[in-house]
Structure 1
């Protein structure tokens, strides 16, 4: 093991509080999490469209109750024509290890929609014991 005479944490100086504050506000403007989505839905504050961007098969087996399915690779002007650009869209995929939600959010925002990615995906939704629907809610894989 190498004995270092400098700090790896302090090697790169920390940003100013103003820059840090802006960074985290920007991050929150494009991300949400399972607990916040669940809370809003439970309290009738779900004036957002929740989209599962996984495959049709994965969605059919198990998805967040109330979510619609639009696989990320099928997002286009045609498949989103009925969506309102005034309504926030929240997308999710499998888990923190999946970038399908990120791809979906990029495609939707590229089409002019306001969008946030739900961190944790269906894996953390289920781990937190929240309601799911589908043909195999008990046996569907946790990750894809």
Structure 2
């Protein structure tokens, strides 16, 4: 009895095609570790971190230095003052939320360079990285990452 591998149902790409795909994937995403290293070293040049969820989520917990551009509010008028030479690194709640994808798509359609933060703020907090808040952390409930709120 021969059993075919489920992992190879779709054959692997040749190395050049795989490298091109993976390079493109990395051109669209950054991980929390690379981002925090930039923020810690003060080498956050050429990009802005963008929370793309609602202002309520931004108030509860955000990556230090992030700006809030809710994806639902992105219009040519609302982004007219943004620097088109910068890359906008969008994030949302987690892999279970697509506000970062929606925000990055809208920004790209409006002519901006974009990336997404892998895993969102949940991955950021799971790695133990600090967040800024508008209100003090007064309860155990507030230590959990905010829900999607998009």
TM-score by length of 1: 0.91
Task: Show the counterpart of 1:20.
Answer: 18
Alpha-carbon distance in structure 1 between the residues aligned to 2:89 and 2:119: 12
8 Å contact kept, 1:61–1:136? no
Q: Secondary structure at the match of 2:23?
A: helix
Aligned CA RMSD, in angstroms, stands at 1.6
Alpha-carbon distance in structure 1 between the residues aligned to 2:89 and 2:13: 30
Report how many aligned residue pairs link the two structures.
142
Task: Show the counterpart of 1:85.
Answer: 84
Which structure 2 segments of 5+ residues have no match?
A: none
Task: Show the counterpart of 2:67.
Answer: 68
Which structure 1 segments of 5+ residues have no match?
A: none
Alpha-carbon distance in structure 1 between the residues aligned to 2:34 and 2:64: 15
Q: Secondary structure at the match of 1:132?
A: coil
Deviates more, 1:34-43 or 1:124-133: 124-133
Alpha-carbon distance in structure 2 between the residues aligned to 1:97 and 1:20: 26
8 Å contact kept, 1:61–1:140? no
Shift of 1:11: 2.1
8 Å contact kept, 1:62–1:140? no
- In the alignment, is residue 45 of structure 1 matched against residue 46 of structure 2? no
Alpha-carbon distance in structure 2 between the residues aligned to 1:90 and 1:50: 5
Shift of 1:61: 1.5
8 Å contact kept, 1:49–1:89? yes
